[in-house]
Amino acid sequence: MSKLALFGGIPVRTKPFPEWPRLTSELGESVLKTLQNENWGVGSDAISRFEDAFALFHDAKYCISTSSGTTALWVALKAAGIKVGDEVIIPAYTFIATASAVLMANAVPVFVDIDEKTLNIDSDLIEATITNKTKAIMPVHIAGNPANMDKICAIGKQYGIAIVEDAAQAHGAEWKGKKVGAIGKGGIFSFQTSKNMSAGEGGAIITNDDDFKEACFSYHNCGRVSGGEWYEHQHLGGNFRLNALAASMLIPQLDSIGADMDLRDKNKKFLDDVLGEIDGIELVGSYEQTTRSAQHLYIVKYKKEAFNGIHRDVFFKAMQAEGVYTYAGYSPLYREKLFVTDPDEYPWLKDQDYASLSLPVTERICDDESVWLQQRYLLGNDEDSQDIIDAFKKVTNALKNEPELFR
């Protein structure tokens, strides 16, 4: 057994994995075209071209581009009718923006535990959290892996609750052959640096609902209305518009995302076929109706009982020493200091006691089990994937067979 790099051995990997975001000649030419020939903001043809192409790619009638995924969430919630004191059901395992956008809309986040198979919101637990104040359910397609949209949409229809999809990580993901995002009332995407389509920052909302689209337009554009006067403002909206340079960066990525998705799918299968055979490493699954994941993250579960009870943090240190950066990802959202709330600042949360909340699956995944690789690790060649596999094998073998090294 080769000596771990953590203890002075030769690391499996010394060269970098593929970088992201990726600059291409097509992206540069698109930005230069906008700089030289078009408006850089309101009225730019680049923005319209992007919105039309993004809607078409995602099987939707409409796209409203925004300055970020976070602002897209706020706009979508307001357009769905969320008002002060309303409750919005969300998973506890997601990025902070899913919850903070609810607070920004003066609403109450209601956290639901996750399905340990997929790490998405557990749809079997949603109904128990519905009250007469529940006005929206916001499933997150975590890591680009679709949530159970059949069950969630059925609940929404039964109770008259809006379904707003947080598809920030799910560009191109499919549920029963249909792209996610516009399966419910509407959905949002992010183009932040790490995302599978990136403009550094940016977001989008897609929908097939005419009224929802018009409301999104108003809330993201200073309260203006389509066809109205420039200085006519009907809602308390903000300037949450995407700029034309960001749009021009995204347009050519709609031509390359298909090949990127194919490569991620291929490399994920390569990893799954081997890592799934390692005792103590458990793969994350998908629902049978999922026809494609966006593979925004590669996540597996670390079972410390298979590794002599050695904590996952030791595994991370050993993997990082081998040149493969694995990490834990999220903590349960309700533990964030944000939710130790000041009733003077958030009076609509005065009766909420997030400190006493405990969701066992979320906590186990966050505290002990989740192992993340960024999506760029899935954009390499077979040699890159083999290095990931070799690092996993080398470290897990040591944890299993030489536990005394880690005591």
Confidence of residue 373 (pLDDT cuts 50, 70, 90): very high
Q: Locate 341 and state its tokens.
A: 């709330």
Q: At residue 406, what are phi and psi to the nearest 5 degrees?
A: -105, 5
Q: Which of 192-206, 216-230, 274-288, 364-378 has the lowest mean pLDDT?
A: 216-230
> Among residues 312, 406, 285, 326, which one has the least CA distance to residue 368?
312
Share of the chain above pLDDT 70, in %: 100
Instruction: Judge whether residue 265 has pLDDT over 70.
Output: yes
One-letter amino acid for residue 311 of the chain? H
Confidence of residue 304 (pLDDT cuts 50, 70, 90): very high
Whole-angstrom distance, CA of residue 193 vs CA of residue 146: 21
Q: At residue 212, what are phi and psi to the nearest 5 degrees?
A: -65, -40
> Got the DSSP string for 63-119?
EEEES-HHHHHHHHHHHTT--TT-EEEEESSS-HHHHHHHHHTT-EEEEE-B-TTTS
Which regions of 78-227 does DSSP assign to beta strands (E)? 87-91, 108-112, 134-137, 162-166, 174-175, 178-179, 186-190, 203-207
Average pLDDT over residues 77-105: 97
What is the tens place of the pLDDT at every residue in 110-159?
A: 999 999 999 999 999 999 999 999 999 999 999 999 999 999 999 999 99
Instruction: Judge whether residue 237 has pLDDT over 80.
Output: yes
Q: Locate 122 and state its tokens.
A: 């557990």
Share of the chain above pLDDT 90, in %: 92
> Among residues 317, 289, 352, 281, which one has the least CA distance to residue 133?
352
What is the tens place of the pLDDT at every residue in 166-209?
A: 999 999 999 999 999 999 999 999 999 999 999 999 999 999 99
Query: What domains are defined for the chain?
Result: 25-254 (3.40.640.10), 256-406 (3.90.1150.10)
